[in-house]
Structure 1
Amino acid sequence: MGKRLLMLFMAIYMAVLPGCVAKTISVEEQQPLLEQSNKNKSEQAEETVPKKGGTLTIPLVQPDVFNPLMTKSKDMVNFLGLIFEGVMRYDQNQKPQPCLAESYEVSEDGTIWTFHLRKGVKWHDGTPFTSQDVKFTFDILRSGTLNSFYQNGIYANTYIQDLVPKDDYTICLNLNFPISNALDIMTFPVIPKAVYESVLPGAGIENIVPIGTGKYKMESTISIEDGEIRLVRNNDWWGKSPFIDTILVRIYEDNDKARAAFQTGSIDLVDTEVVFTNIYEQEPDVRLYRYLTSKYDFLAFNLRSPLFSDAKVRKALAYAIDRKEIMSMVFLNNGQAVDVPINPSSWLYDSSYRIYDYDPEKAVFMLKEAGWSDSDGDGILDKDIGGEKVNFKFTIKTNEDNDERRETALLIKRQLGEIGIQVDVEPVPWQEIQGDHIPKGSFDAILMGYYLSVFPDLEFILHSSGEQNFIKYTHPELDGLIFQSKTIYNEEELKDAYRQMQKLISIEMPIMSLYFRTACLVTKDKIGGIGIPRELDIYGGIEEWYIKR
């Protein structure tokens, strides 16, 4: 959804989030993983036939605002997803699919996307949903007045001409030029025009009782003071009627209190970073549903340094770093290793370019081919550069308030030391890395992370003009592929363009991708019908959930 979806979460992740991940594999293999996670419990539990009824009790941590366009809370995005819907929504492969639209089509030149909206959809107050509601919501986001992360890709986007209703159930996204993420743009949650058009930001828009088109609706006014909110099934929902009658939402001031409430049975589930799931692994009445997040860790090299200017050296380092050991020692044997900055859940990810498994002998061989050897027998590789002997030694900087990254950097230091590369680790404040070392280029390597957009954006970090291309990487062929991909709207052509980009990245290795992190939905065994959650949409398939009798 734009160049950097959820920039707020990305900024927080780079600065402070610890590396808490779970063992996760590609989307095609996630169902066997889910079954394995719950094996003992599944074997003992007799499957029940889903029936309507019952109450699901869920947590809500630190709610900020009840307007889906304004919230800056991950918990609220998940919660409000029960109430609000978009014209399009993401599936398990992070591919947009029709939601409030029942179909769409694109013109031959790719500049007009026509969305045919579902007829008969009602807002929770009984009024009809129309294209005017979509237009109203789009215009608010395009104005930029709400500072919403949903406006990324809409606000100040010169590719977009306008969103124009043709009638109550047809709306057209008109573009000045074709774009590859037109469908992603239409995943924003739609709000009712009649409810919000007379209320300005700062005058109560954030606390209007949410009225959406979704599977569940507010039973009454918001009662945060009571510590609870109650949702009831929307019997007018356009899709399959959910089994569960009521969702009781209990409010907590932090995640620790929510996890404690789950352990005491006060709530039926908790969405958590996987490091906390270890305490639940052996509990007979608990099930774990792991899923990939957009949190991406990598090692960035200063390509202006003669140590890292040779792609063969960078690839040798990729073979020399044992990510399995890192995930075992730091992340309790959990993690999804990658060689490209594209989420393995994405329909645009190509697993063919997952290449660099640990192979220190190959690393030594490639370094030797690049001219690095221990000529003086001091245990450190060296090379003649410009008539001067240069030892292969460098410093990894990482943010000092992140224990997992510090431990990871120390493991990389030991692993590279085993093949003759001397590494120092320098933990420093993130503000210093971001405000000083990155802008000035005063670093050898930085161990860090980004919260990546759902639609894979390689421009911001790997294009020669990218806003975050602080490693100063330049490659004309990759620049061309990135630029070309931005205007491809045919699915197969787009997949092919991303395949070519991933191939080139795996050959060039401009940055060393390490892994994507995962999270886990932990539930009581009494809840059936849960599939594989998706980040920021953990209740996406809740119409299939049911309370076991």
Structure 2
Amino acid sequence: MNGNGFLKFLLTVLILAVIYFGWVLTGALDRVRESNLRVLERLEQLQHTLTAPTPLVDWAPLPASAAPSGDNIANRQFFDPAAVPGGRLIQATSADTPNLNPLINNEATASEFHGLCVSSLAEPNYADPTEYQPLLAESWEISPDHKTYRIKLRRGVFWDPFTDPETGVKHGPKEVTAADFKFFVDVVKNPDVNCEAIRSYYQDLESVEIVNDFEFVVRWKVEYYGSRASTLGMSPLPRHFYHFYDGPFDGKRFNNDHRRNRMLIGCGPYRFVRWEKDRRVIFRRNPAYFGNALGAGPSLDYLVYEIIKHPNTRFQALLAGSLDQLGLTPDQWIQRTGGKEFTSGELKKYRYLLPQYTYIGYNLTRPFFQDKRVRQALTMLIDREKILRDIYFNLAKITTGPFFPDGPYADPSIQPWPYDPERAKRQLAEAGWRDTDGDGILEKDGVKFVFTMLQIATSPIQQKMMPLIKESLAGAGIDMKIENVEWSVYLQRLNQRRFDASCLGWASPFDPDMYQIWHSSQCDKPESSNYIGFRNAEADKLIEEMRRTFDRERRIAIAHAFARLIHEEQPYTFLFVPYSLVAQSGRYRNVRVFPVGMPVMPYWVPKQEQRAVPGL
């Protein structure tokens, strides 16, 4: 996923990558709730902090005459007519986000926050994510070749009122129109805007033609399978907020407008209240949301994201009632959920497998990683069965590639590379890596096999796993150093390609598009997801063919061929598909697990069990 609805759409619901890593592996996705799958993050650190405790968004009623048109709205059948308004949901995230602009920040949290505040044209059905249902779009028509989409917008949908952070001008509610969608596309296509991860999905979009305020036509240059998701997942972008000055739009100014990028102006189910830097981000139910009148509006008054870095501190906050929902680590799930809070039903546990995978990615510009025999050997030196047993407590599945193993795009005939140190040593020798000076370290052409693995400082899984991998590699003459870094630094290092190896995670979408992560054209783009520099002409050919193929069986066959190629090339050591392990207060009603995860929009709390947000 967009005003950034595309990120919201694919990250929040279709589970697209842009670059979020699996919370079980990294501890950085404790924030997964409605957006359960996120994509890998890459952005510069935000240099300014929000210090004012007062809201930056004005609260005002809509014009009395405003009434959304059309009564068809996505996922209405999953909302409880008996729900009562009020209450809160307080979650935890292990790291603060660089900024709140999801176009230039494709970090998972920014996309999730955006999805709360800004609706997209359509949304996948919770139970069947291949079915698209209307949100901002009242209806649409698609040409047989999927190159032309005619969109009819719902009327009576308004942008939030706000006070301009630079000029001080107050803006009242303004109706969302086709121009806001065209502005989104114009910004995404502007080469000065730092949004490579999103831009790759819109590179073949030819034009957005406005018919009138509430109708527009999206035209694609080529037949592209992802055009439906990219079009219907699109969200508007408020031009009156971002292009507030005279003259042409300035992409660099958009990137660097720190005051605006600390705000969210939306038209969705929640309104941004404030961001207390390094402490919490607060959202309040939008009384003017068009879905409220259609039976698909949220009931919870507040959604709060507390920033708590240490996993034990987060768990203690859950037990104390300061948090209402938390993604658990495997050891917490197994060893710490037997107390009275869980046995009494005060806290409930939810376990489900989601389409995401963790991996070790190798910087392919480094001399030690350029031979696939070496990359295969590295994978065979890692005892994934032991890690699965001792660190994940068997709450994950070993995976072989980028496709969800329980889905049709994965090739079940592909078996994981075995843990086989002797075979790995032979392959390293065949590739020319030998210990010629007897110091215990392999070398080739005068280069010692010494590299550094980035480790996320707040990840308990990595803290346990990396020493095991280091020891195993050392037995084969490879010196893997471990560098513990904060998340913001981690992002900068990836973005600048200043790393040897990293351990992260991606999502596995229901209808995957491998272009953003694997296509050679993305290698040299600083904001792209192909940060390891994978270049392969045959992979490019398969990716492009898959993008043009609408026949599902043919797409699956191409995906299987791509999976076999990636398995052989081994640019990643594919690790695990982890279970989502969620602990949540028993106060909540209408809690359900879907293929897209546990969407919080249908949650509600009986009046007598509702709690206020401390400090509000």
Alignment TM class, shorter chain as reference = 0.5 to 0.7
Q: Secondary structure at the match of 1:288?
A: strand
Q: How far has the Cα of 1:85 moved from its partner?
A: 0.8
C-alpha distance 194-355 of structure 1, shift in aligned 2 (>3 A): same
Q: Does 1:427 align with 2:482?
A: yes
**Letter matched to residue 325 of structure 2:** L
Q: How far has the Cα of 1:211 moved from its partner?
A: 4.1
Say which of 147, 152, 155 aligns to 2:199.
152
Q: How far has the Cα of 1:230 moved from its partner?
A: 3.6
Q: Does 1:179 align with 2:224?
A: yes
Q: How far has the Cα of 1:527 moved from its partner?
A: 0.8
Q: Does 1:84 align with 2:125?
A: no
Q: Does 1:356 align with 2:416?
A: yes
On the 8 A contact 2:26/2:456 being kept in 1, the answer is no
Give the match for residue 30 of structure 1: none
The 1-side partners of 2:199 and 2:514 are apart by 16
What CA deviation, in whole Å up to 9, does each residue of 1:49-84 have, x standing for no partner? 972215331237768877665777744543443332
**Letter matched to residue 205 of structure 2:** I
C-alpha distance 195-397 of structure 1, shift in aligned 2 (>3 A): closer
C-alpha distance 119-521 of structure 1, shift in aligned 2 (>3 A): farther
Q: Secondary structure at the match of 1:399?
A: strand
Unaligned residue ranges in structure 1 (runs of 5+): 23-48, 374-380
Q: Does 1:399 align with 2:435?
A: no
Q: Does 1:297 align with 2:359?
A: yes
What CA deviation, in whole Å up to 9, does each residue of 1:370-404 have, x standing for no partner? x949xxxxxxx966979999999555631266575
On the 8 A contact 1:180/1:488 being kept in 2, the answer is yes
Give the match for residue 538 of structure 2: 477
Give the match for residue 567 of structure 2: 506
What CA deviation, in whole Å up to 9, does each residue of 1:88-144 have, x standing for no partner? 345668758344335545434443233344466566788654433322333344346
Say which of 150, 164, 172 aligns to 1:114.
150
The 2-side partners of 1:386 and 1:134 are apart by 54
**Letter matched to residue 321 of structure 2:** G
On the 8 A contact 2:282/2:302 being kept in 1, the answer is yes
Say which of 577, 592, 610 aligns to 1:531.
592
What CA deviation, in whole Å up to 9, does each residue of 1:468-502 have, x standing for no partner? 77877665433321232344455554333223211
Give the match for residue 19 of structure 1: 26
Give the match for residue 134 of structure 1: 181
What CA deviation, in whole Å up to 9, does each residue of 1:402-433 have, x standing for no partner? 5754653443466578xx84443322477899
Q: Secondary structure at the match of 2:224?
A: coil
Q: Secondary structure at the match of 2:228?
A: helix
Give the match for residue 163 of structure 1: 208
Q: Secondary structure at the match of 2:348?
A: strand
**Letter matched to residue 480 of structure 1:** K
Q: Does 1:327 align with 2:385?
A: no
**In percent, how many aligned pairs have the same letter?**
17
Q: Secondary structure at the match of 1:499?
A: helix
Say which of 462, 465, 473 aligns to 1:408.
465
Give the match for residue 83 of structure 2: 52
Q: How far has the Cα of 1:334 moved from its partner?
A: 3.3
The 1-side partners of 2:554 and 2:364 are apart by 33
The 2-side partners of 1:56 and 1:472 are apart by 47
**Letter matched to residue 87 of structure 1:** L
Q: Which deviates more from structure 2 when the two are superposed, residues 225-234 or residues 264-273?
A: 225-234
Give the match for residue 543 of structure 1: 602
Q: How far has the Cα of 1:224 moved from its partner?
A: 6.7
Q: Secondary structure at the match of 1:237?
A: helix
**Letter matched to residue 180 of structure 2:** D
Q: How far has the Cα of 1:339 moved from its partner?
A: 0.9
**Letter matched to residue 112 of structure 2:** N
On the 8 A contact 1:66/1:210 being kept in 2, the answer is no
C-alpha distance 479-75 of structure 1, shift in aligned 2 (>3 A): closer
C-alpha distance 314-239 of structure 1, shift in aligned 2 (>3 A): farther
Q: How far has the Cα of 1:86 moved from its partner?
A: 0.8
C-alpha distance 372-123 of structure 1, shift in aligned 2 (>3 A): closer
**Letter matched to residue 576 of structure 2:** Y
What CA deviation, in whole Å up to 9, does each residue of 1:323-376 have, x standing for no partner? 13113333444334221134558x67415255217465xx86xx49xx949xxx
C-alpha distance 328-434 of structure 1, shift in aligned 2 (>3 A): farther
Unaligned residue ranges in structure 2 (runs of 5+): 12-16, 30-79, 162-172, 247-253, 443-448, 525-529, 609-616
Give the match for residue 41 of structure 1: none
Say which of 486, 504, 515 aligns to 1:449.
504
Q: Secondary structure at the match of 1:542?
A: coil
Q: Which deviates more from structure 2 when the two are superposed, residues 229-238 or residues 336-345?
A: 229-238
Q: Does 1:340 align with 2:401?
A: yes
Q: Secondary structure at the match of 1:81?
A: helix
Query: TM-score of the superposition, structure 2-length normalised?
Result: 0.60
**Letter matched to residue 204 of structure 2:** Y
The 2-side partners of 1:439 and 1:158 are apart by 24
C-alpha distance 215-449 of structure 1, shift in aligned 2 (>3 A): closer
Q: How many residues in Structure 1 have an aligned counterpart in Structure 2?
A: 493
C-alpha distance 511-261 of structure 1, shift in aligned 2 (>3 A): closer
Give the match for residue 237 of structure 1: 291
What CA deviation, in whole Å up to 9, does each residue of 1:279-303 have, x standing for no partner? 4464322123456475632254969
C-alpha distance 385-146 of structure 1, shift in aligned 2 (>3 A): closer
Q: Secondary structure at the match of 1:503?
A: helix
The 2-side partners of 1:406 and 1:170 are apart by 53
Q: Which deviates more from structure 2 when the two are superposed, residues 272-281 or residues 174-183?
A: 272-281
The 2-side partners of 1:331 and 1:489 are apart by 38
Q: Secondary structure at the match of 1:114?
A: strand
On the 8 A contact 2:397/2:577 being kept in 1, the answer is yes
The 1-side partners of 2:194 and 2:432 are apart by 50
Q: How far has the Cα of 1:506 moved from its partner?
A: 3.0
The 1-side partners of 2:490 and 2:181 are apart by 43
Q: Does 1:268 align with 2:329?
A: no
Q: Does 1:97 align with 2:132?
A: yes
The 2-side partners of 1:307 and 1:204 are apart by 42
Q: How far has the Cα of 1:203 moved from its partner?
A: 9.8
Q: Does 1:189 align with 2:235?
A: yes
Give the match for residue 37 of structure 1: none
The 2-side partners of 1:433 and 1:206 are apart by 18
The 1-side partners of 2:118 and 2:592 are apart by 20
Q: How far has the Cα of 1:237 moved from its partner?
A: 1.1
Give the match for residue 32 of structure 1: none
Q: Secondary structure at the match of 1:448?
A: strand
Give the match for residue 576 of structure 2: 515
The 1-side partners of 2:293 and 2:372 are apart by 55
Q: Secondary structure at the match of 1:340?
A: coil
C-alpha distance 58-434 of structure 1, shift in aligned 2 (>3 A): closer
Q: Secondary structure at the match of 2:285?
A: strand
On the 8 A contact 2:326/2:584 being kept in 1, the answer is yes
C-alpha distance 120-231 of structure 1, shift in aligned 2 (>3 A): closer
The 2-side partners of 1:337 and 1:266 are apart by 35
C-alpha distance 233-258 of structure 1, shift in aligned 2 (>3 A): farther
On the 8 A contact 1:21/1:274 being kept in 2, the answer is no
C-alpha distance 521-145 of structure 1, shift in aligned 2 (>3 A): farther
The 2-side partners of 1:488 and 1:197 are apart by 38
Q: Secondary structure at the match of 1:355?
A: coil
C-alpha distance 411-429 of structure 1, shift in aligned 2 (>3 A): closer
